[in-house]
């Protein structure tokens, strides 16, 4: 029997108007880098994956983006220090900060950053999903009276 409600995560649409992540890596001469996330509509898990791909494509560090499914918060970790430039980067008008759950402000230099808010949106149905019933176990109609 299913005893927990399902949760559906949605509304992570990356467009050309919100696909930029400006950041710097102090160990790589503090040059501003631009990660461009591929446009599309993503599940929360896939969204973390495309951010990881975009960051790793232009950086010296190796990045991983994880999702806390209870809070919908994204955490970006790297093997070296980095700073997200959501407040002062050259692409702040096109940045992905809000959709990722981050504030529109620069972060401090560190190896890990977690968004302050949940990414995307969630929907929780009021009713529990039903258990699966094999078609062979379905009951047939029973007619309690006989027609003559």
pLDDT for position 133: 66
Task: Give the angle subtended at the CA of 73 by the CAs of 79 and 114, to the nearest 5°.
Answer: 40
- Report the distance separating Cα 96 and Cα 13, nearest Å: 10
In tens digits, the chain (148 residues) has pLDDT values of 667 777 777 778 999 999 999 999 987 788 999 999 999 999 899 999 999 999 999 999 999 999 998 899 999 999 999 999 999 999 999 999 999 999 999 999 999 999 999 998 778 887 776 666 677 766 666 666 766 6
Measured in residues, the chain has a length of: 148
In three-state secondary structure terms, 108 is coil
pLDDT for position 12: 87
- Report the distance separating Cα 108 and Cα 101, nearest Å: 16
- Report the distance separating Cα 11 and Cα 106, nearest Å: 24
Q: Note the pTM of the prediction, 2 decimals.
A: 0.79
């Amino acid at each position: 029997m299913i005893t927990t409600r399902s949760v559906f995560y949605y509304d992570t649409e990356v467009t050309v108007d919100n696909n930029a992540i400006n950041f710097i890596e102090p160990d790589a001469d503090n040059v501003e880098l631009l990660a461009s996330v591929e446009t599309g509509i993503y599940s929360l898990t896939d969204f973390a994956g495309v951010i990881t791909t975009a960051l790793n494509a232009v950086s010296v560090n190796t990045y991983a983006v994880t999702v806390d499914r209870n809070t919908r918060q994204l955490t970006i970790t790297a093997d070296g220090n980095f700073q997200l430039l959501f407040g002062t980067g050259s692409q702040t008008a096109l940045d992905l900060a809000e959709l990722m759950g981050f504030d529109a402000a620069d972060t401090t230099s560190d190896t890990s950053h977690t968004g302050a808010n949940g990414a995307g949106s969630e929907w929780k149905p009021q009713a529990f999903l039903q258990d699966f019933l094999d078609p062979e176990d379905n009951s047939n109609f029973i007619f309690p009276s006989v027609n003559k």
